[in-house]
A and B are shown apart, each in its own frame.
Chain A
Amino acid sequence: MQSAPLPETLANLLGFDPNSTPVMIVMSLIGAALIGTLMMTNTALAGPWAKRKITAAFTDRIAVNRIGPFGLFIIVADAVRLLSKELIVPEGVDRPAWDLAPLVIASTALLGFAVIPMGNGIQLADPEVGLAYVFATASMASVGLVMAGYASNNKYSFLGGLRAVAQNVAYEIPLILTGASVVIFAGSLQMSEIVAAQQQSLIGPLPSWYAFVNPFAFVLFLIANLAEVGRNPFDIPEAPTEIVAGYQTEYSSVYFVLVYLGEFIHIFLGGAIIATIFLGGPAGPVLPGIVWFMIKIWGVFLFTQWARSAVPRVRIDQLIEIGWKGMLVLSLANLLLTAVIVGVIA
């Protein structure tokens, strides 16, 4: 199952020597551009189009349908519209931080895709600490959210920033501990090994994906992931009916695009982590791996949109209590229980 990372495959394909460093740097840049383009395409499809269509379907309305087939060209129209808006810089913003925040939010989420195996050999890098790396990049977005909230000089933004930290710190630990319970099964942090460990059959044709092996951990992870990406019931950092738009209140034009885009890439990154550690990565019958991988991350995206349309928002006091009293205790129990079960079987 172990296939070479993408830059090496590219070097071999184009007939260069994969052992020389300059060649690898160029090939890595090409590979990175491919991954970046792939994820940006997904986000472009999800943000201005799929999200509207899905929400409309849930609330029995008709969404974008005027430009192009199924209203798809709204993506182009929206891109031009948003990029050509005036950038209003509010009075008294903390300048370098206010400009950097959208950059941090957008680029850290994109960075996580470096270690995700997408099937058909599309994996940019495969370091031994893959899972720790991907959790690290995924949680860096909170730094961007705090920067945006604090630097905007707006009370709504400030509240949104504070809420974002309170939420992310409360759900980060259950998320990572549940991820750790998967590592107990797999015995490795390397993404390709975690995927490879899920390929044997569990019962009959059912593969031993960790979602089937440990459904309890899977549910915990799904819920913690909703909080991590800030979607209902955990969308209190934005809470449009309470604090306008939270940390993104003062952002307009391209900065708004970047914050919004960062959120969507983050949802896809969450989906990619779930697909990799719980749903067998790119594994699946008949169709090629990359297609299965896309189906899985879009499945997780659909789940977040479903939650967004169907579940009411929790309050800040409920959020803290669910996080610290419920999820944390359950995730510790899950970790120990997994350890006991694996210990008895092994």
Chain B
Amino acid sequence: MSNPWIAIGALAVVAVAIPISMMAVSSLLRPSVPEQGKRATYESGEVPTGSSQQIKFNIQYYMVALLFVIFDIETVLIFPWTVIYRDAVAAVGMTKVLLPMVVFIGVLVVGLGWAWRNGAVQWVRSPRATKGADTYE
């Protein structure tokens, strides 16, 4: 059995080579006709105002990303447990294997409940959106 990562590395080379070769072919085929105003970013036909890279964005995108970090680490910790679970149950019995994980997930569920109560997983609508919904109802 040879090292499987050689083959994965080979696919990485191929996976990068395919898009790059497409770019190369395209650069040979495509025209370049620079014109006034062609390079403006698309803003529904209006003249674009300001840069989008200094724009203020909704903080809630940041909140869910923070939550994700916690739960992502949790899944990383769960994975080794799932792999050995069957053998471990056969070796030391079910309670000893399952109970720690129930406690671990329990702690996380309490954390999720806390985030839930504090509205971190609830999208707060702007007053304008809420008002609009009232008028249409």
With A176-B75, A250-B41 known as contacts, the answer to whether A83 contacts B121 (CB < 8 A) is: no
Q: Is A330 an interface residue (CB 8 A)?
A: no
Interface residues of A in 306-346 (CB under 8 A from B): 316-317, 320-321, 324-325, 328-329, 332, 335-336, 339-340, 342-344, 346
Q: Is B114 an interface residue (CB 8 A)?
A: no
- In the assembled complex, the Cα of A113 lies from the Cα of B131 at a distance in Å of 49
Contacts of B25 in A (CB 8 A): 83, 254
User: Shortest Cβ distance from A75 into chain B, in angstroms?
Assistant: 14
14 chain-A/chain-B pairs, Cβ below 8 angstroms: A24-B3, A29-B10, A32-B15, A84-B29, A87-B32, A91-B40, A108-B15, A155-B52, A156-B42, A180-B82, A183-B79, A317-B125, A324-B121, A342-B85
Residue of A nearest to B124 (CB): A317
- Find out whether the CB atom of A169 lies under 8 angstroms from the CB atom of B65: yes
Interface size on B, residues (CB 8 A): 78
- Find out whether the CB atom of B30 lies under 8 angstroms from the CB atom of A107: no
Contacts of A94 in B (CB 8 A): 53
- Find out whether the CB atom of A90 lies under 8 angstroms from the CB atom of B15: no
- In the assembled complex, the Cα of A87 lies from the Cα of B23 at a distance in Å of 10
The residue among B25, B31, B38, B68 with the most chain A CB atoms within 10 A of its own CB is B68
Contacts of B61 in A (CB 8 A): 162, 165-166
B1-38 contact mask (Cβ, 8 Å, vs A): 1 or 0: 11111111111111110111011011101111100001
B66-93 contact mask (Cβ, 8 Å, vs A): 1 or 0: 0110011011001100111111011000
Main secondary structure of the interface of A (DSSP, over half): helix
- Find out whether the CB atom of B6 lies under 8 angstroms from the CB atom of A7: yes
Interface residues of B (CB under 8 A from A): 1-16, 18-20, 22-23, 25-27, 29-33, 38-44, 48, 51-53, 55, 57-58, 60-61, 64-65, 67-68, 71-72, 74-75, 78-79, 82-87, 89-90, 94, 97-98, 101-102, 105, 108-109, 112, 115-116, 121-123, 125
- In the assembled complex, the Cα of A24 lies from the Cα of B41 at a distance in Å of 48
- Find out whether the CB atom of B41 lies under 8 angstroms from the CB atom of A92: yes
Contacts of A325 in B (CB 8 A): 116, 121
- Find out whether the CB atom of B85 lies under 8 angstroms from the CB atom of A32: no
- In the assembled complex, the Cα of A125 lies from the Cα of B4 at a distance in Å of 5
Partner of A343, one of B1, B30, B65, B89: B89
- In the assembled complex, the Cα of A166 lies from the Cα of B43 at a distance in Å of 23
- In the assembled complex, the Cα of A154 lies from the Cα of B39 at a distance in Å of 12
The residue among B5, B15, B67 with the most chain A CB atoms within 10 A of its own CB is B15
The residue among B10, B94, B97, B121 with the most chain A CB atoms within 10 A of its own CB is B10
Contacts of B15 in A (CB 8 A): 32, 36, 106-108, 110-111
User: Shortest Cβ distance from B80 into chain A, in angstroms?
Assistant: 9
Interface size class of A (residues with CB under 8 A): 35 or more
- Find out whether the CB atom of A170 lies under 8 angstroms from the CB atom of B72: no
